[in-house]
Amino acid sequence: MIQCVAIDDEPLALKQIAEYIKLTPFLELAGLFESALQSMEVLVNTKVDLMFVDINMPDLSGMDFVKSLENPPKIIFVTAYSDYAVEGFKVNAIDYLLKPIGYSDFLKSANKVRNYFESIQNRLVKEESDKNYLFVKTGYKTERVCLDDIIYFEGMREYVRIHLINGKTLMPLISLRVLVEQLPSTNFMRVHRSFIVNLSKIVSVEHARIIFDNKVYIPVSEQYKELFQNFINLNSLR
């Protein structure tokens, strides 16, 4: 969900934007404000992704307010005057809505914001899938380990034992729960409370046990059996 706030000194316009936000499935209203200054506390203490900001407001205009923010959210300016469009884009506004606002125009602007965040997310996913190494700190040394050299991870209470294809093991101070969030899910899967396996290194599966070429047997626990079976089914000949 994209967290939104709306800032407008006209109560009717503010109410309309709030209704449009509630109508839009991927937007969530985080606050309504009749002045820019009223919104400051929410912007500081809450993650806000998008602001609908009226340009013409007393005390502090929407344009000046956005310029004053060090790391502003994405901006959609709202105004009754079309001549502000160029200036709005100079401060990296995603779009500009002219009053009175129809829902179709509002939705077009909202979709621009959604497309922006989806493109960011897709780029992050690609970067994650392209990552082929980890830096592993053990004692006073930090080693660069190629992900393809890892067979599996074994949980050892406060530590994790990393089993490598050359027979070497490393024991960084980390939990499996934290580790699994840092690994690309396309290559690694947690199959037991004590094991994360490199899916590309599996030789065979027998009786809910994963077998690697060094005859190591890793159990698949009931908690993870369905997820692992889905992986097998997805990659099986039909």
Q: What is the pLDDT of residue 120?
A: 83
Whether residue 117 is found in the same domain as residue 158: no
56 touches 74 (CB < 8 A) = no
Range of the domain at 107: 2-129
pTM (whole model) above 0.85: no
Residue 215 predicted with pLDDT over 70: yes
Count how many residues are written for the chain. 238
Q: Are residues 13 and 90 in the same domain?
A: yes
* Structure token pair of residue 98: 């002219």
Kindly report the CATH number assigned to the domain that includes residue 86. Answer: 3.40.50.2300
- The stretches of the chain forming alpha helices (DSSP H) are 11-23, 40-45, 62-68, 85-90, 103-130, 176-182, 222-234
The Cα–Cα gap between 6 and 26 comes to 16
Same-domain status, 41 and 103: yes
Per-residue pLDDT tens over the stretch 81-134 = 766 554 555 567 899 899 999 999 999 999 999 999 888 877 766 556 566 888
- Spatial CB neighbours of 30, under 8 Å, sequence gap ≥ 6: 3, 4, 5, 42, 46, 48
What is the reported pLDDT for 223?
93
144 and 186 co-located in one domain: yes
Residues 180, 110 within the same domain: no
Kindly give the pairing relationship between strand 209-211 and strand 204-206.
antiparallel
Looking at the structure of the chain, the number of domains it has is: 2
Greatest CA separation found in the chain?
74
Question: Which residue(s) pair with 164 in the sheet?
Answer: 150
Q: Quick one: 7 and 119 in the same domain?
A: yes
In percent, the amount of the chain with pLDDT more than 90 equals: 53
Per-residue model confidence as pLDDT tens digits over 190-210:
999 999 999 999 999 998 899
Beta-carbon contacts of residue 107 (< 8 Å; ≥ 6 apart): 20, 24
Tell me the CATH number at 183.
2.40.50.1020
Computed over every residue of the chain, the mean pLDDT equals: 88
Asked if residue 115 and residue 27 are part of one domain, the reply reads yes
Q: Convert the pLDDT of each residue in 126-165 to its tens digit.
A: 556 566 888 898 878 899 999 999 999 999 878 999 999 9
